[in-house]
Amino acid sequence: MQLLSISPILFPLLGLLINAFFGKRMSERLIGAIASIMVLASFAVSAYLFIRAGALPEAQRLLSVDLGIPWIQAGKLSVPFGFLIDPLSTTMMLIVTGVGGLIHIYSVGYMRGDARFQRFFVYLNLFIASMLVLVMADSFLLMFVGWELVGLCSYLLIGFWFSNLKNAEAGRKAFVVNRIGDVGFILGILLIFATFGTLTFSGVFGKVTAMSAVNSPVIVAITLLLFVGAVGKSAQIPLFVWLPDAMAGPTPVSALIHAATMVTAGIYMMTRAHVLYTAAPATQDVVAIVGALTALVGGSIALTQYDIKKVLAYSTVSQLGFMVAAAGLGAYVASIFHLAMHAFFKALLFLAAGSVIHGMEHLGHANGAHAVDPQDMRNMGGLRTKMPVTFVVYVIGALALAGVPPFSGFFSKDEIVVAALQHNPLVFGLLAVAAVFTALYVGRQLVMVFFGKARTGNAEHAAESSPVMTIPLIVLAVFAALAGFLNLPGVGTLGTWLAPAVGGYEPEALQIGVAGLFTLLALAALLGAWIVYRDAFAKAADADPLERFGGLYVFLKRAWFIDALYQSVVVKLFYAASSFLARVFDVGGIDGLVNGTAVLVRNTSGALRRIQNGLVRSYGLMMLFGVVVIVAYFLWSAAVH
């Protein structure tokens, strides 16, 4: 039972060990197969655990698997090494291993021929194992271990092509920005321990329920600190700047880590800690507003980007904002529902974008057209006929993202906005505008990439990707299209399933007004994008129609100048402090101290070395003097007493 429960973690670990130690002698095909099979095995076990949990009566579904190993015992602190198999964690396990498995298979095609193919799959397997530790942990501390491990994998994979300095810098930026959030998370964990004396979920939540206090200062502080961690990991305002840069990594990484799984860790954590958040409505308001603002800001920036992956990155920021807002509204089911749907359609969009990039690079080098950026949407156009499979799945993903019924994104977004309408009109307004932006940028992207005429030789010669890449796309497209039926309004299959783990759930009936309004908004925005961008780009060098907004356009294009702000305030200050330490303190203080010691020792020994002249007789003379002095001392002291 215990081994079975943790085997989803062990499979990818095994895969990474095999590939790390024997990969050098194996073919690419074998490395990819081992990595993929391990993740799929992990998926199979997760599915088994999921089904078995489903067979249990509702009250017993919260299974805690204690491995019986005391992990940390220090004074009052006692953390067991245990995992949690409950509706929430099994759902997350299925998403992580399912989407992860498909992305592994896709990567076999995408990374073919890469110099560090083996290392890529070792990292990917490590990521799956780490993410499973995060979602299966039954204490805040073990969750934090997974939290940091996925952060490490993210860093390693963003800077995967580190020979290009920009990629390495992007990895470093992600790491540093995430640390800021992690400080909050650690402080939150420490405060939890100081307050409740335990770190296990069941222990903490039991005590919070027993307190039955609303907005007690300490719980507000804890939840806010934990939220700081979520802001870093889930790329919310003001720490979202790392996520767009994270697109420097290979596209499957963007799909897996920076869209489907890792960045949703913050939302998962808040859902897991829903007892705490429900006890702190003040924090919840902050969370909802931050989430809604992020949704708006991310969506608005995505409108102006040219890089196909940057558009999707800002879109991810925006969609994460939706999820965080839902968590802040207390609609945890809606939050997890959107998380799952987003995992499907955003992974699909990223992988399809990877397929487009691959297609753009296909004949580029042979034609000497390597100067063309294969990720710039201005260089694309007309790929509809060149890459038919990619086009169809992209449209499905785009419609799901834009929230057009009956695609998955429509249902999950609908649940969030219905919750917003009931609890917080301001959040509802922000989300409505964000939804319009969503449909606008996704329409713009579709038109720029797939419609019109090919604007460069690369687009002219683009070719469809191999089946190892398109089959995962098709599977994901089926989910992106149909998964919304998992939680239909008024039925709520997923919600009922999650209810024991997220503190109850009542399925909302479909609100025709809200659903109709958002469908209309999405369709209108898509149509608007079609009209504006249909003829906008005849050549790659043409200006974007939005540029006529002047300052506003630049403001959005530069991501609200938030990066520039950090650059001038934080980074400059940091460099100034560093150069003071390096040039003045280090050279003067530290080096001075060290060199001073050395000079002192050298001068002293220089004087002393004259004594050691190598002549035995002079040593003998010194011994004689010593003996005489000692004997004289004894005689003298004997005479005195």
Partner 1 sequence: MNTVSPFVLLSALLFTLGVIGVLTRRNAILIFMSIELMLNSANLAFVAFAHQWGQLDGQMFVFFVMAVAAAEVAVGLALIVTIFRSKKSTNVDDLSQLKG
CA distances from 503 to 415, 498, 533 (A): 17, 8, 46
CB 640, min distance to partner 1, A: 20
The verdict on 607 binding partner 1 (CB under 8 A) reads no
Which tokens hold the place of 189? Answer: 């964990």
What is the distance of C-alpha 156 from the center of its chain? 12
Name the DSSP class of 375.
T
Our CB check for partner 1 shows the closer of 22 and 619 to be 619
The verdict on 616 binding partner 1 (CB under 8 A) reads yes
For residue 492, is it left (φ>0), alpha (ψ between -120 and 50) or beta? Answer: left
Judged by CB under 8 A, which of 593, 621, 630, 632 binds partner 1?
A: 621
User: Which of the stretches 195-203, 276-284, 491-499, 613-621 binds partner 1 when contact is defined by CB under 8 A?
Assistant: 613-621
Question: Closest by alpha carbon to 18, among 38, 43, 4?
Answer: 38
CA distances from 91 to 75, 333, 336, 432 (A): 36, 12, 9, 28
User: Which of the stretches 160-168, 537-545, 590-598, 608-616 binds partner 1 when contact is defined by CB under 8 A?
Assistant: 608-616
The verdict on 24 binding partner 1 (CB under 8 A) reads no
CB 609, min distance to partner 1, A: 3
Judged by CB under 8 A, which of 24, 25, 548, 609 binds partner 1?
A: 609
User: Which of the stretches 45-53, 54-62, 582-590, 606-614 binds partner 1 when contact is defined by CB under 8 A?
Assistant: 606-614
Judged by CB under 8 A, which of 68, 610, 636, 641 binds partner 1?
A: 610
Judged by CB under 8 A, which of 564, 624, 630, 631 binds partner 1?
A: 624
Judged by CB under 8 A, which of 512, 617, 637, 641 binds partner 1?
A: 617
CB 637, min distance to partner 1, A: 21
CB 116, min distance to partner 1, A: 55
The verdict on 2 binding partner 1 (CB under 8 A) reads no
Inter-residue contact 508 to 415 (CB < 8 Å): yes
CB 603, min distance to partner 1, A: 14
Q: How far apart are CA 418 and CA 314, in angstroms?
A: 24
Our CB check for partner 1 shows the closer of 617 and 641 to be 617
Count CA atoms closer than 13 A to 372's CA, side-chain side. Answer: 28
Q: How far apart are CA 26 and CA 158, in angstroms?
A: 25
Beta bridge partners of 83: 65, 137
Inter-residue contact 216 to 279 (CB < 8 Å): yes
How many other C-beta atoms lie within 10 A of the C-beta of residue 293? 20
Q: How far apart are CA 187 and CA 193, in angstroms?
A: 10
Judged by CB under 8 A, which of 614, 636, 639, 641 binds partner 1?
A: 614
CB 631, min distance to partner 1, A: 12
Our CB check for partner 1 shows the closer of 609 and 641 to be 609
CB 626, min distance to partner 1, A: 13
Judged by CB under 8 A, which of 1, 69, 512, 615 binds partner 1?
A: 615
The verdict on 602 binding partner 1 (CB under 8 A) reads no
Judged by CB under 8 A, which of 608, 629, 639, 640 binds partner 1?
A: 608
Our CB check for partner 1 shows the closer of 69 and 616 to be 616
The verdict on 626 binding partner 1 (CB under 8 A) reads no
CB 618, min distance to partner 1, A: 9
Scanning residues 525 to 544, which ones bind partner 1 (CB under 8 A)?
none
Our CB check for partner 1 shows the closer of 215 and 612 to be 612
Question: Residues touching partner 1: how many (CB under 8 A)?
Answer: 13
Inter-residue contact 229 to 266 (CB < 8 Å): yes
Pairing state between β 77-85 and 63-74: antiparallel
Query: Which residue do the tokens 């942990």 mark?
Result: 137
Contacts by residues 556-564 (CB-CB < 8 Å, ≥ 24 positions apart): 556/300, 556/301, 556/303, 556/304, 557/301, 557/304, 557/305, 559/241, 559/244, 559/301, 559/314, 560/297, 560/300, 560/301, 562/238, 562/240, 562/241, 563/241
Our CB check for partner 1 shows the closer of 115 and 632 to be 632
Our CB check for partner 1 shows the closer of 68 and 614 to be 614
Our CB check for partner 1 shows the closer of 596 and 620 to be 620
Q: How far apart are CA 310 and CA 300, in angstroms?
A: 12
What is the distance of C-alpha 639 from the center of its chain? 85
Query: Which residue do the tokens 């997974």 mark?
Result: 146
Say how many Å lie between the first and final Cα of the chain, rounded. Answer: 84
CB 620, min distance to partner 1, A: 5
The verdict on 601 binding partner 1 (CB under 8 A) reads no
Question: Closest by alpha carbon to 203, among 50, 3, 66?
Answer: 66
CB 601, min distance to partner 1, A: 14
The verdict on 165 binding partner 1 (CB under 8 A) reads no
Judged by CB under 8 A, which of 60, 212, 613, 637 binds partner 1?
A: 613
Q: How far apart are CA 568 and CA 577, in angstroms?
A: 13
User: Which of the stretches 285-293, 384-392, 487-495, 620-628 binds partner 1 when contact is defined by CB under 8 A?
Assistant: 620-628
Which tokens hold the place of 190? Answer: 């420490």
The verdict on 25 binding partner 1 (CB under 8 A) reads no
Which tokens hold the place of 443? Answer: 């329409």
The verdict on 639 binding partner 1 (CB under 8 A) reads no
3-state secondary structure string across 330-350 = CCHHHHHHHHHHHHHHHHHHH
Scanning residues 310 to 369, which ones bind partner 1 (CB under 8 A)?
none
CB 605, min distance to partner 1, A: 8
Our CB check for partner 1 shows the closer of 467 and 620 to be 620
The verdict on 55 binding partner 1 (CB under 8 A) reads no
Which residue stretches of 451-511 are H helix?
Answer: 457-460, 467-482, 493-502
- Residues found in the chain: 641
CB 604, min distance to partner 1, A: 12
Inter-residue contact 490 to 510 (CB < 8 Å): yes
Our CB check for partner 1 shows the closer of 212 and 613 to be 613
Q: Using CB under 8 A, list all residues that contact partner 1.
A: 608-617, 620-621, 624
